[in-house]
């Protein structure tokens, strides 16, 4: 290529511009050696361009930039994973992003392009993993690379990004958070919380007995009651508890603003996050300001209550009081505040959603309910309440299978929380660049028809092998993968198991009837967002017998 007697060429043939010796160990990058050739064949480095006469410098420099851009576009020898064709050179797949229920769209893409999908929105790359095996291979086995979180500008503006463990970038602060969870929520320690769980579940049963029409309020209260007692020694009020309200409100604000979306804020956060709230189109700033206020109230108010008790010499028996006694710096205090808030907000929301899914399933599949109750009647009877000892004795296998199916049928976090890569990588012949967002499609894993025939049907029997024994599928994938797996999963599973078992032991869950005696239909749908919930339902909850009523009241000395 000649311009006024000056030639510009790559240092190597373009077919060989990416060589094994030039590639970096983990990426697809190349050290390019561009130089200019004078008319007599002598080489001229790019630095020599600055010494060219003015009439040569501009055209040659322009050609260098154009050639360098072209060369850089060619250095990625391996392709990205397949996915929908980009509809724009600039915005990529912006117009392809699903408006709702993204997990279903990803399943549809997977049927066409394969289990590993790629799409781009502006300069941001996303890879979706639809299969269990690929999630394990990347997020578990290569956790050193894939334990970061992508930057989510709206979550940052709402105040969650820097103190909430689930969204925090991977690094020293996150590891300090994780140490608290490891200390207080590992399996052997979680056993110590069973008396608290039992008491709060008994309160839940009493609520269903006395005000069954408010069953949704009761399971929301239970969702917060266990973790609030463990973290802050706060005894949640049966109704209208302020801390439960804060958790519900914060979760509601967060769940609709977590996923990357087709917004300029997502595409260009460094620019649009600084718009004033009054600016046209900056309504997101006004929303974020209100959400930030709720988030920090949720973080600060419960912990301040514990501090007041400690100053008064009434140190409560809870996680935050234990850690506060050893805090030596503001950094340690901030770590505690963030970790405690994470446990409180995440535990309350996900437990409540799981129990809502349980009630929906029992109304839609009454035969499953009757089979579970028959097992309970034969193994435990109605003279005492089911306890965690019944779980340990494995005397209720169908109840265990039913709990697994509740978790599988509708996952509380169908896309989990996205991971991010911290360096270039390759997988199955595909290129994964640094700072790529990786999405675990938990919904696709749990609804894989090859593993779960008729996946949209609620069927606990799928967890038994041919000999009638429980199989080894404990659906643990619903809690995430790698170093970002949910640290409170053992506590959560225990609460869900005992709540479901005792409800089925003592209550019949049936469709409600209208004024003309006709059963009110039960919708099968669910909401969209980070955390899903079944659509609102009505039902009739009645004690199965006088004995059931009495054993519940006996726990409160009221029988």
Task: Report pLDDT digits (tens) over 281-295.
Answer: 677 788 888 989 999
State the angle between helix axes of 397-409 and 489-506 in degrees (0 to 180), rounded to the nearest 10.
120
Binding residues: 486
pLDDT at 468: 93
Give the Cα separation of 127 and 150 in Å (integer): 12
Across the beta sheet with 116-121, the strand order is 116-121, 124-129, 437-440, 419-420
User: Six-digit token pair at 344?
Assistant: 């409180």
Task: Report pLDDT digits (tens) over 6-20.
Answer: 333 333 333 333 333
The mean per-residue pLDDT over the stretch 371-375 comes to 98
User: Six-digit token pair at 454?
Assistant: 């008729």
The mean per-residue pLDDT over the stretch 331-344 comes to 94
Task: Determine contact, residues 123/93, Cβ cutoff 8 Å.
Answer: no
Which is more confident, 110 or 159? 110
Task: Determine contact, residues 251/118, Cβ cutoff 8 Å.
Answer: no
User: In Å, how far from its chain's centre is CA 196?
Assistant: 26
User: In Å, how far from its chain's centre is CA 361?
Assistant: 22
Q: State the chain's mean pLDDT as an integer.
A: 86
The mean per-residue pLDDT over the stretch 526-535 comes to 92
Q: Among 66-80, 304-318, 392-406, 492-506, which stretch is predicted with the lowest mean pLDDT? A: 66-80
Which is more confident, 257 or 151? 151
Which H or E run contains 380? none
pLDDT at 558: 75
Binding residues for heme: 486
Task: Report pLDDT digits (tens) over 468-523.
Answer: 999 999 999 999 999 999 999 999 999 999 999 999 999 999 999 988 889 999 99
Note the helical H segments in 241-282. 242-255, 264-267, 269-272
pLDDT at 36: 41
| Locus of tokens 């408010």 | 214
What proportion of the chain, given as a percentage, has pLDDT over 90? 67
> Exposed, middle or buried: residue 427 (CB in 10 Å: 0-12, 13-18, 19+)?
middle
The mean per-residue pLDDT over the stretch 182-195 comes to 95
Task: Report pLDDT digits (tens) over 21-66.
Answer: 333 333 343 334 444 434 344 444 544 545 555 555 555 555 556 5
CATH 3.40.30.10 fits 157-554, yes or no: no
Which is more confident, 123 or 459? 459
| Locus of tokens 């809870």 | 318
The mean per-residue pLDDT over the stretch 417-427 comes to 97
Task: Report pLDDT digits (tens) over 223-242.
Answer: 899 999 999 999 998 888 88
First to last CA, the chain: 96
Q: Among 43-57, 201-215, 346-360, which stretch is predicted with the lowest mean pLDDT? A: 43-57
User: Six-digit token pair at 326?
Assistant: 């050893």
Which is more confident, 225 or 274? 225
For CATH 1.10.630.10, the residue range(s) in the chain are 157-554
Determine how β-strand 124-129 pairs with β-strand 437-440. Answer: parallel
């Amino acid at each position: 290529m000649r311009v006024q007697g000056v030639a510009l060429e790559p240092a190597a043939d373009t077919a060989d511009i990416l060589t094994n010796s030039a590639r970096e160990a983990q990426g697809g990058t190349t050290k390019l050696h561009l130089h200019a050739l004078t008319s007599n064949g002598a080489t001229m480095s790019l630095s020599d361009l600055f010494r060219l006469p003015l009439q040569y410098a501009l055209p040659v420099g322009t050609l260098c930039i154009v050639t360098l851009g072209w060369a850089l576009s060619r250095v990625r020898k391996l392709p990205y994973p397949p996915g929908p064709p980009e509809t724009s050179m600039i915005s990529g797949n912006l117009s392809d992003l699903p408006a709702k229920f993204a997990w279903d769209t990803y399943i549809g893409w997977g049927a066409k392009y394969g289990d590993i999908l790629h799409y781009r929105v502006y300069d941001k790359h996303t890879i979706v993993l639809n299969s269990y095996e690929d999630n394990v291979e990347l997020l578990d086995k290569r956790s050193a690379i894939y334990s970061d979180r992508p930057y989510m500008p709206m979550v940052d503006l709402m105040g969650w990004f820097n103190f909430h463990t689930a969204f925090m970038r991977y690094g020293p602060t996150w590891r300090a958070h994780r140490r608290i969870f490891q200390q207080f929520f590992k399996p052997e320690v979680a056993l110590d919380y069973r008396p608290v769980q039992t008491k709060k579940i008994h309160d839940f049963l009493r609520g269903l007995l006395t005000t069954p029409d408010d069953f949704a309020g009761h399971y929301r209260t239970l969702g917060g009651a266990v973790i609030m007692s463990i973290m802050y020694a706060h005894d949640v009020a049966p109704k209208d508890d302020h801390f439960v309200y804060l958790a519900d409100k914060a979760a509601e604000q967060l769940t609709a603003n977590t996923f990357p979306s087709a917004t300029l804020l997502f595409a260009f956060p460094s620019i649009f996050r600084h718009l004033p709230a009054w600016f046209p189109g900056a309504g997101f700033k006004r929303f974020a300001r209100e959400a930030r206020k709720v988030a920090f109230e949720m973080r600060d108010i419960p912990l301040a209550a514990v501090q007041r008790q400690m100053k008064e010499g009434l140190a409560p028996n809870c996680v935050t009081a234990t850690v506060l006694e050893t805090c030596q710096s503001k950094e340690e205090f901030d770590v505690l505040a963030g970790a405690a808030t994470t446990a409180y907000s995440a535990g309350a929301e996900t437990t409540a959603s799981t129990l809502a899914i349980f009630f929906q399933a029992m109304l839609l599949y009454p035969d499953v309910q009757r089979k579970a109750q028959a097992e309970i009647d034969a193994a435990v009877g109605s003279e005492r309440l089911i306890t965690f000892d019944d779980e340990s004795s494995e005397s209720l296998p169908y109840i265990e299978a039913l709990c697994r199916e509740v978790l599988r049928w509708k996952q509380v976090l169908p896309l989990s929380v996205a991971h991010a890569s911290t360096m270039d990588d390759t997988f199955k012949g595909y290129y994964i660049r640094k700072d790529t967002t990786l999405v675990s499609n938990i919904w696709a894993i749990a609804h894989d028809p090859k593993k779960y025939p008729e996946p949209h049907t609620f069927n606990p029997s799928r967890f038994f092998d041919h000999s009638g024994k429980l199989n080894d599928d404990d659906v643990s994938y619903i809690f995430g993968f790698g170093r970002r797996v949910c640290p409170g999963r053992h506590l959560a599973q225990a609460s869900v198991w005992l709540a479901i078992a005792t409800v089925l032991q003592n209550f019949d869950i049936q469709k409600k009837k209208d004024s003309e005696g006709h059963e009110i239909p039960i919708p099968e749908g669910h909401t969209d967002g980070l955390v899903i919930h079944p659509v609102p339902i009505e039902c009739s909850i009645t004690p199965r017998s006088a004995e059931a009523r009495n054993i519940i009241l006996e726990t409160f000395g009221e029988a």
